[in-house]
Amino acid sequence: MSTAVDNNSAGVYGGGTSTAVKSNGEKVSDLFLTLLVAQIRNQDPLAPMESKDFVNQFASMSQVEMMENMASLTSTSAALQESMLVVSLGAQVGSDVMVATDSLALGGDAVRGGFVLDSAASDATLVLKGPGGVERRIALGAHDAGTVDFRIDPQALGLPAGRYSLSVVTNTGEAPRTEILGQLQSVRLDATGAVVLAVTGVGNVSTGDISRFLGRTGGSSTTSAQGA
C-alpha cells in the first residue's frame, strides 16, 4: 500500500523536492507548498495528517507571505520618499546651509561657522588640526549660553590649504557640535539609495548633517577668529 502511494506521488510531482526550490528568491508560498508536498509524500499512510494540520500550515503560510508583502511595500515606500526628498532638496541647490561637521576644507577664502553653548563659558577655543597633524588653536574668548559665530580666515591666520579637523573646547568641559556655513551644490542618490548632498567647504554629507537652510542671500554678523 505504501509503495502505491509513493509511486503515485512520484508520478504527480516529478523529480522530487530538490527541483521545486529553484532559487533563494522563490516566493514564500511556493516554498511552503514544496514543504507541504514533502510532508504528504513522506507521511505514514496508516496515520495521515489531519485536516486541521493542513489548515494551520496554510494559515501560517498566509501570515508569513503577508509579512513579506508588507516588507516589500515598506521598502518601496522608503525608496519613493527618498526620491521625493531629492526632488525637494534639488530646489534648494545654490542655497546657503549650516552643516554639522568635524572637518572642513580650507583654501584661500574665509569660512564662517558656529556652535551652540548650553552654558556660559569664560574661555572657548576653536581647535584646528591640519595636514601633518599640525594643530592651531584659535581663542574665541568668553561667551554666554547660546549661539556663537566664528570666522576662519586662512590667509590672516597663515593656514595652508588642506583639510582640517574641527572641534571646540571650553573651560567648562562642554564640547559643542561645530557647524560650517557652505553652499549646497548638488543633491543625488548613491548606490544604496541614500540621499547625498555636496556642500562647498565640507564635501558630501547626509540630510541629517544639515542643521539649517539659510536661503540664497545668507549673511549674519560674525566675530573673526584670531590665532592664539
Same domain, 126 and 217: yes
Residue 220 has pLDDT above 70, yes or no: no
Same domain, 120 and 161: yes
pLDDT band at 139 (very low <50, low <70, confident <90, very high): very high
Q: What is the pLDDT of residue 17?
A: 40
Same domain, 60 and 118: no
- Average confidence (pLDDT) over 41-55: 70
Rounded CA separation 16/58 (Å): 21
Contact present, 130 and 162 (Cβ < 8 Å)? yes
Same domain, 102 and 81: no
Rounded CA separation 152/103 (Å): 13
Same domain, 108 and 203: yes
Please tell me the chain's helix, strand, coil percentages from 3-state DSSP, rounded to the nearest 5.
Answer: 35, 35, 30
Helix ranges (DSSP H) in the chain: 2-13, 28-42, 51-90, 154-157
Same domain, 158 and 192: yes
Range of the domain at 19: 2-90
Same domain, 49 and 110: no
Helix ranges (DSSP H) in 43-104: 51-90
Residue 90 has pLDDT above 70, yes or no: no
In this structure, what C-alpha cell is assigned to residue 67?
509579512
CATH code (residue 207) = 2.60.40.4070
Count how many domains the chain has: 2
Q: What is the pLDDT of residue 60?
A: 73
In this structure, what C-alpha cell is assigned to residue 149?
559665530
- Average confidence (pLDDT) over 174-185: 93
Q: Which of 90, 109, 126 is the last residue of a domain?
A: 90
Same domain, 53 and 141: no
- Which range has the worst mean pLDDT, 53-62, 110-119, 198-207, 216-225? 216-225
Instruction: State residue 103 phi and psi, 5-degree precision.
Output: -155, 160
Same domain, 85 and 108: no
Average pLDDT, the chain: 77
Contact present, 112 and 178 (Cβ < 8 Å)? no
Same domain, 116 and 172: yes
Q: Which of 38, 59, 90 is the last residue of a domain?
A: 90
**Which of residues 194 and 127 earns the better pLDDT score?**
127
Look up residue 101 and give its amino acid: T
Burial of 164 (0-12, 13-18, 19+ CB in 10 A): buried
Same domain, 131 and 83: no
Q: Which of 66, 90, 114 is the last residue of a domain?
A: 90
Same domain, 48 and 108: no
pLDDT band at 83 (very low <50, low <70, confident <90, very high): low
Residue 196 has pLDDT above 70, yes or no: yes
